[in-house]
Amino acid sequence: MQPLSSTTKAYLAGFLDGDGSIYVRLKPNSTYKYGFQVAPYVVFFQSQKAKKLFEKLCGLVGSGYIRERSDGVIEYIIGKTDAIKEFLIAVEPHSVLKREQIKLMLEILEYRQTIKSEREFKKLMKMIDRFGELNYSKKRLKRVLTP
């Protein structure tokens, strides 16, 4: 990630609070030592209609990739551990709505490095479960965009 100005960090914190998501997926996978792949994500969402401007916004971060879904939504996905850490540390002081999720993700990424037993991996899974309480579906959100 390029060095960001304070206002760019604050802007990205605002966008993350509004239209971003922080979570970890636990994917069952027997080739992994404890039976799960741990996949952390920071994702931004936007309609494909705003693609060009959205790419400009994503360019400010630079460390993720864009995925175009079949339903007209574009996602900007930051999936690499170092990129997630760097991004979240940059925006954390400016976030108002997602501070808890940011702290939890940073704790999880830190703790994951130290795991040496199944008991410790289970503790990690419990930490990941906490996203379920902090995040909530916004599917019900219906925006009134008139006219």
On the question of a cis peptide bond just before residue 93, with omega within 30 degrees of 0, the verdict is no
Q: Which of 14, 17, 19, 79 is catalytic?
A: 19
Residue 94 interacts with its own copies (CB under 8 A): yes or no: yes
| In the complex, minimum distance from the CB of residue 55 to its own copies, in angstroms, rounded to a whole number | 10
18 is catalytic: yes
Residue 146 interacts with its own copies (CB under 8 A): yes or no: yes
**Contact code string over 16-55 relative to its own copies, x by CB under 8 A:** xxxxxx-xxxx----------------xxxxx-xx--xx-
Alpha-carbon gap, residue 29 to 113, rounded angstroms = 19
Q: Which of 57, 83, 109, 127 binds its own copies (CB under 8 A)?
A: 57
Give the containing element (helix H, strand E) for 40. strand 36-47
Total Cβ atoms within 10 A of residue 56: 10
| In the complex, minimum distance from the CB of residue 52 to its own copies, in angstroms, rounded to a whole number | 10
CA 116 to chain centre: 26
| In the complex, minimum distance from the CB of residue 144 to its own copies, in angstroms, rounded to a whole number | 7
Alpha-carbon gap, residue 61 to 43, rounded angstroms = 12
